[in-house]
Structure formats: C-alpha cells, structure tokens
Amino acid sequence: MNAALPADLFCPRVRTRPHGPDLSRIVAGMWRMGEWSMSAEQRVAFIEQCIALGVTSFDHADIYGDYGVEGLFGEVLRLQPSLRDRIELISKCGIKLLSPQRPQHAIQHYDTSAAHIVASVEQSLRRLHTDHLDLLLIHRPDPLMEFDEIATAFAALRQAGKVLHFGVSNFSRHQFESLNRRIELATNQVEFSPLHTAPMFDETFDGLQDLGVAPMIWSPLAGGRLFASSDDHADHLRLVIKGIADALNQPFASVVFAWIMQLPCRPVPLTGTGRIEAIAVAVAATRFTLGREDWFSILRAARGHEVA
C-alpha cells in the first residue's frame, strides 16, 4: 500500500534560467480542460486548489480544446480577477489547425511569422482575460521559420509588456541554440517519459544543461500508457516502477515524476489532469529522490538493455 500524501504538501519553485521566469516545480497542463466537464465555478475551485498546493503555473496553447481552453480559463479570471496576481500563465502559438473555429485555414500548417505570433498573443490575452503572458512558446519548429523575425516579434511583445519571457517547444538542440543566440529563451518544452527517452540521448537535455536552461516536460506519464499499455515492454517497465514505488512506500506516479526531476538539467514536468489528487501525487515527487541504482533500474527497463 502507498503511504498517504503528507498534509503539509506544498510545491517548491524553480527559475528556468538566470533572469528567467519563476515557476512552480510542477506545472498544471490545461490541454484537456475542455474534457473535464467542469462548470465555471468548479474550474475556479480547481485552480484555487492548485494554488493551495503551490502549483501556480498553468500551461496553455492557443489551439488547445479546438481553440477553446484559453477561453474556459479566462472565464475563471473574470469570476475571480484576484487569481491573476497569484499565478503564471504560459501559452504557445505557431500551429494553425483545420477547425470550424478557424474556417480560413485551408490546411493544417505552421506559421511562425511575426504577424501570426503577435496576432496569436493578442487573441490569447483576450481569451485568458489578462494583459500579459508570463511565458510564450513557439509550439513546434516551422520549416519556414526565420530566427531573426521570431526574435524581433518577441522583442516587440516584451517591449509592449504583453509577454514577459519567451521559449520554444519541441525544438532540437540546434534550433534552440540558433534562436537563443538572438533572444534569450527560458525553456524548451519537450516530450519525455520512461516510454520516450530520446531527449536524454539526442543532446536536447545536454545542451540545455550546458546553457543553464531547465526544460519543461509534456506527457511525463506517456499519456497514461505507463498505466494502461499492454505490450511486453510497458508491462515490464510498469512492474519495475511499481516495485520501487512499493519499496519506497510512494505512489507509482510520484516515482515517475521524481525520476524525471532527478536529471541535472532540472526538468519541470507538466500534469494533464483535472483531478487535484493526481496533481498532489506529482507534487509529492518533489520531496524525495531515488537512489542511483533505482534510477538506473528504471532507465534499464525503459531502454530494454543494460547501460554499456
């Protein structure tokens, strides 16, 4: 049996780089908020519960929920304007979806032009009912992106006070460093979990550690596949993690979050849940570290072979 979560559970904070944004060590991902079937009042209560746990950073993108999630969150800030001063708002732009909400889009594509970045920020600010974003990310690398143009757009948004910090998502090490040379980037938000370890070995994490920049991590629980996938690899990995969790008397998901946060590049994981209990389990991972042998046992199970 797992131990009950401590009553004094509270999330610490992390600065993603010198002079970068100050975020909660666990970030609440809002991607699925539209699927949570919450009333506006329930959304207010959920956000207040997150804040009470010390989880004050909320991750969005303009496209989430078919362009609807930012508006759902904005309703919360209309009902409780005082919440804005207690939280950090993160959003992303650069993807144009095929959607009834955007009938002018003839094909799904990327757009990292200055005009689109600025227009997306203006729309996000209106939907979120705020006058600034704490952090704006380019959502995906665009084959047509021009680093100088993106940097100029970022600088103009900062000068206008509409965005305080900037970063990227899903960028390679070289793409990150190319834009970072032009304007300081606060993070690179990438997929990482025991079922997706590529950033550990493709120089993404090494490059960020070298620059003193903490990555943000999406899908740290592999979109739930760590709990539900039935292939042999996932089954064995699950058993290894469960064995360590049982030995430590910690929740299974807490061990996964702790394994991720133990990396020296200081990853900042996102949750993807509307259950405050699941967010508390992620926060609990900030209170312990794994022994080196346990950490490598999970890596061995994740990769399917011993370290060379």
Give the active site residues: 64
**Which of these, 60, 56, 38, 40, lies nearest to 48 by C-alpha position?**
56
Q: Are 157 and 163 in contact (CB under 8 A)?
A: yes
In 3D, which of 191, 198, 193 has the Cα closest to residue 215? 191
- 86, burial (CB in 10 Å: exposed 0-12, middle 13-18, buried 19+): exposed
DSSP letter for each residue of the chain: -PPPPPTT----EEESSTTS-EEESSEEE-TTGGGS---HHHHHHHHHHHHHTT--EEE--TTHHHHTHHHHHHHHHHH-GGGGGG-EEEEEE-EE--BTTBTT-SS-EE---HHHHHHHHHHHHHHHT-S-EEEEEE-S--TT--HHHHHHHHHHHHHTTSEEEEEEES--HHHHHHHHTTS----EEEE-BTTB-HHHHSSHHHHHHHHT-PPEEE-TTGGGHHHH--SHHHHHHHHHHHHHHHHHT--HHHHHHHHHHTSTT--EEEE--S-HHHHHHHHHGGG----HHHHHHHHHHHHTS---
